[in-house]
Amino acid sequence: MALSEQDLLHLIDKVRPWKHGDRRAPHKPLLLLMALGRLQRGEDRLVAFTEVEDNLRRMLKKYGPSRDKYRPEYPFWRLQNDSMWEVHGSAALAQVLTTVDPPKGEILQSSGGLPKPIFDLLRDRPDLVERLAVAILDEHFEDTYEGRLLADVGLRIDGYSWARRRKRDPRFRLLVLDAYEGRCAVCGLDAVLEGDPVGLEAAHVKSHKHRGPDTVNNGLCMCALHHEAFDLGVLGLTHDHRVLVSDWLRGGASVDEYFRRYHRERLRGPVVGAASVDAKHIEWHWKNAGLSWIVLAVVLGPRPPEGTGMIALIFILSGRSPGARSGPSRRTSTGVLGITRMATQLQTSLIPAVGLPPVRLSGSRREVSWKSSYP
């Protein structure tokens, strides 16, 4: 039986991204968008892993949660389990179950792409390519950076496809902007034209696409610039509603003017009687928007709290570069600095200075593992 449009939409809906608790990673959706972009440009169905490896890794860093290592071979292999991908390689690779990750060396010699029935249907239906792309964007990515993402994967979407997308509750924007008196909670922009706010948006702290509620305690009034930065993980929040700016954000004087000047400044809160952002939504954003850089940004940033030099030295001795993006769990060599001194320094200097929660330490003199929840 030939594959139908509804069959394909059902398959897209059933794609299972990586998930651990309430943390999600859009690795498979990113690979699918790349494949749709290739198809739309008239490129071959199958592509060598080595041809897409670097670009896929770059997009995993850009649009996914932070990791110590980014492994583009995982979605390239694992998407087969969702019936939306196939991989061709050596005879040895053909014997590996799709539920088991093969050696990286085997993936390096492989090629992959959309199954032929899916590819043929989409090649004959350009409108369906766009519809699938919109469905993937709706389910897995934020509106604020969709244009950037589409450019990265080389996809074009016309107005008709956008018009058919899932609708949002328009009352959410009105409620949030009213609660914050039409001012950006970060920079204070309050532009108005003929009584209507200009350049101001209602940002979800816990993403609407991941079942974040359309309520004031999950919203912030933000200008368009800071909204996009927040969704990309360039901006974050502490538990006491202070702004944190990623230390790996690069640029000239304008970055200082529009971003770094707000580092550790308190958010402009809502009017009296309106709900502030709930702590559980801040924690979700910390886990899912690539915010694990916060600890390094605080410790190794341009103005580290007094007394944190030894903590910075620990990271430098371990070979981590300032501003390196990493996950919320780290393993680092203490070298000549013992675990006792490290624990003392963390608890007496870093924690009170920046408002981080207690750090749990374990390990030997040579190596310490530590974890911290959201700040």
pLDDT of residue 314: 35
Helix 126-140 / helix 27-40 crossing angle, nearest 10 deg: 160
Three-point CA angle 287, 238, 137, nearest 5°: 40
Return the SS3 of 14: coil
pLDDT of residue 211: 82
pLDDT of residue 124: 93
Q: Which helix (H) or strand (E) holds 196?
A: strand 196-197
d(CA 315, CA 297): 12
Phi and psi angles of residue 88, each rounded to the nearest 5 degrees, phi first: -120, 135
DSSP 8-class letter at 266: B
Please, which residues have CB within 8 angstroms of residue 235's CB and are 6 or more apart in sequence? 186, 226, 229, 243, 244, 245, 246, 259
pLDDT per residue as tens digits for the range 41-95: 999 999 999 999 999 999 988 888 777 788 999 999 999 999 999 999 998 898 8
pLDDT of residue 18: 76
pLDDT of residue 163: 55
Three-point CA angle 127, 14, 61, nearest 5°: 85
d(CA 23, CA 348): 30
**Residue 319 burial (C-beta neighbours within 10 Å; 0-12, 13-18, 19+):** exposed
- Assigned token pair, 173: 């924007």
The count of residues in the chain is 375
- Assigned token pair, 131: 């519809």
Q: Which residue has the tokens 């249907």?
A: 121
- Assigned token pair, 315: 């990271």
pLDDT tens by residue, the chain, 375 residues: 678 888 898 898 888 887 776 677 789 999 999 999 999 999 999 999 999 999 999 998 888 877 778 899 999 999 999 999 999 999 889 888 788 899 999 999 999 999 999 999 999 999 999 999 999 998 888 888 888 899 899 998 886 555 555 556 778 999 999 999 999 999 999 999 888 899 999 999 998 877 889 999 999 999 999 999 998 888 989 889 999 898 778 899 999 999 999 999 999 999 999 999 999 999 888 877 754 444 433 333 333 333 333 333 333 333 333 333 333 333 333 333 443 444 444 444 444 444 444 444 333 333 333 333 444
Q: In Å, how far from its chain's centre is CA 202?
A: 19
pLDDT of residue 232: 86
pLDDT of residue 335: 38
Helix 49-63 / helix 146-153 crossing angle, nearest 10 deg: 170
Q: What is the amino acid identity at position 110?
A: S
d(CA 113, CA 31): 9
Q: Which residue has the tokens 């030894």?
A: 310
